[in-house]
Chains A and B, each alone.
Chain A
């Protein structure tokens, strides 16, 4: 086992691009294992060029259960490929993989699904709902950038090697916390701008004048009070009562139709 470098910069870039195949054969038994192996095959073939047994062992190991975040997986791939290249012990590579895929999934979900998506979607949709095509263009541009960044993460993981393990463990909670603060701020704003509930009933006062409950009372005292209340109710039912979102969707539609029928909404 020589420790000489077998992989070029281009190989690592290709590894980052191929990390897009992570979920190619996603299934409940091994989750992303098939795509995880597929993405690394050219690099592994190069490392174990004349070592058929080594290749088969590496392939078998990399076909074990893995479930991590597609946007950040390149980092883990780069890190582990650098260990493969150095001829490190198989159990070390396996151990690091098992230790890291979970935390990376956690950071990825916090950043990409719960922070980045609401913000980019919120901004893009506020343009799109005004009929501006720039909305979807911003959206696609932002995610294209995220996609290209895979290459950067992969090089980073490869260069840092085991050092990145420590760094990730030390800072993951701080990063996730800050990302959540940003996400929560935007979600507060999204509720105010995109949930709409308007009461229709009017009250007849003396002299035949009609006053709309929505406009005269709610909108002057606290606009968007009903959307906030309903969202918090959904939050409560999801969190404390573990109601399935599908039930809530169907329930909301039924409620809306009933309220429409009786003229409340």
Chain B
């Protein structure tokens, strides 16, 4: 299917708004689920947007900027997975595999901005010294505008301008390659979850991990809400226990030392 110029421009406008949201991390409309759905609406195929969005979102679940590292770009992944599925007529899984180069590209653009925007700080220091409020505002607006325009231009180029070579490239691929990308699309979420586990997993959490996995594996469910409720139950159980333990320790300390004079700075 062809993307019209009008649709291309609408995608660019959406990219500017969504790109700024990712830059600020404010409303979280930058996650692939939302971006793909919006793309699907603009292209007139909401179902396609939902299917590609759900898959891309989970593949990107663990790829977060937590701790100050810039992950592969979720905005471009959302736009491109839906666009590629639309223009080249491939499955959502295959489109997920094919959208990744665009996601990496934008990741490096953002990294470039992170480095180069350091140059604005000298001017900001001077403005602060002078108490120049307007200048601080101007610097922040400038950096945000640069980011916004880059998203608009890059998404317009990747979706509208590159659609024909992209479609030709995909249709010229042999069946085993398309199927391979489809298989990859099914496995890629494993890396996202691996990333989450890397940060979160400790030996003491293994029981909860097993419980969640088994519940989903052996009890037929349409959505994840029941597992989230179970997890909440575990979390509350632990929270109250930890609170009770801490109170008990504090009381024991208070009883021992008689007149307390020190600070009650409880470490980790």
Contact = CB atoms under 8 A, between A and B. Distances in A.
Given A45-B133, A121-B58, A170-B266, A231 B37 contact: no
Contacts of A189: 212-213, 215-216, 224, 227
Contacts of A246: 72, 104
Which of B46, B140, B182, B191: most chain A CB closer than 10 A?
Answer: B191
Contacts of A258: 180
Contact of A249 (B125, B191, B200, B265): B191
Interface string A181-206: 11111111111111111100000000
A77 to B, nearest CB: 15
A211 to B, nearest CB: 21
The main secondary structure of chain A at its interface with chain B is: helix
B252 interface: no
Contacts of B71: 245
Interface residues of A, number: 112
Interface string B99-134: 010001000000001111110110011011111010
B187 A26 contact: no
A185 B227 contact: yes
B51 interface: yes
Contacts of B72: 245-246, 249
B176 A260 contact: yes
A236 B173 CA distance: 33
Band of interface residues on B = 35 or more
A248 B217 contact: no
A34 B141 CA distance: 10
A186 B242 contact: no
B216 A192 contact: yes
A21 B127 CA distance: 18
A125 B25 contact: no
Nearest to B226: A189
Nearest to B68: A67
Interface stretch (B2-10, B28-36, B160-168): B28-36
Contact of A265 (B97, B183, B236): B183
Interface string B141-176: 101100000000000000000000000000000001
Given A182-B235, A186-B228, A253-B184, 19 more contacts: A38-B137, A59-B127, A59-B136, A63-B128, A109-B64, A109-B199, A113-B66, A123-B223, A123-B225, A124-B33, A133-B46, A136-B34, A139-B33, A143-B28, A146-B28, A223-B218, A235-B198, A252-B190, A260-B183
